[in-house]
Amino acid sequence: MIVSVENFNTYTGNCETQPAIVEMKKVYLKTAEEVVVSYLGFNPVESERSQTLSGIGSDRIYPYAYNITDVYSLTVNGVEISDYEINENYIRLTEGVFPTGINNVAITYTAGWDDESMPSVIKLTIMQIASLMMEESEGNIGVTGKSFGDNSRSFINYTNFDKWLNKLSKYKVFRME
């Protein structure tokens, strides 16, 4: 998990340690992490990845993960390429372009962040979403009421995480498939 239960306890101020409660906190954190990963379009945890991409006649190719740190293999139309530069979110050929083609670029690379270098905004967003989920427990789904003389209305607050996810937009991967 990207965020530990201990960090979540510190963030929320809820330091209950009963096994059932700790397990629920893990569920909230894991679910919030899945929401963030889905929004980003990639898992931000550092790992080796392999992909086949389509060249578009540009000197750059954009794999589906950020913070690229190493490239182990890069082939274009089956030919190994070794003359390139790595940027945190793309690979640039030092000469020439990735020719236009469908699934003609194969790449194996490492991308993402380790625990210490993970952007704090990603960790914070996971904790914010997990704490919202924790608030909904015990039947508290945000129902409020208002009375106006002889009439009354109930308002149900649904969970929409966009407000929290929007601050991750600079890390979001846009795919053209």
How is residue 143 written in tokens?
A: 């129902």
Q: Specify the DSSP class assigned to residue 15.
A: -
**Domain residue limits, the chain:** 5-43+115-171, 47-111
Cα 139 to chain centroid distance, Å, stands at 28
Nearest CA among 159, 62, 162, 147 for reference residue 111: 62
CB 58 within 8 A of CB 176: no
How is residue 104 written in tokens?
A: 């003609």
* pLDDT at res. 164: 86
* pLDDT at res. 145: 56
How is residue 21 written in tokens?
A: 């409660």
pLDDT tens for the chain, 177 residues: list them: 999 999 999 999 989 999 999 999 999 999 999 999 999 999 999 999 999 999 999 999 999 999 999 999 999 999 999 999 999 999 999 999 999 999 999 999 999 999 999 999 999 999 999 988 887 765 555 555 566 666 766 555 556 788 889 999 988 887 655
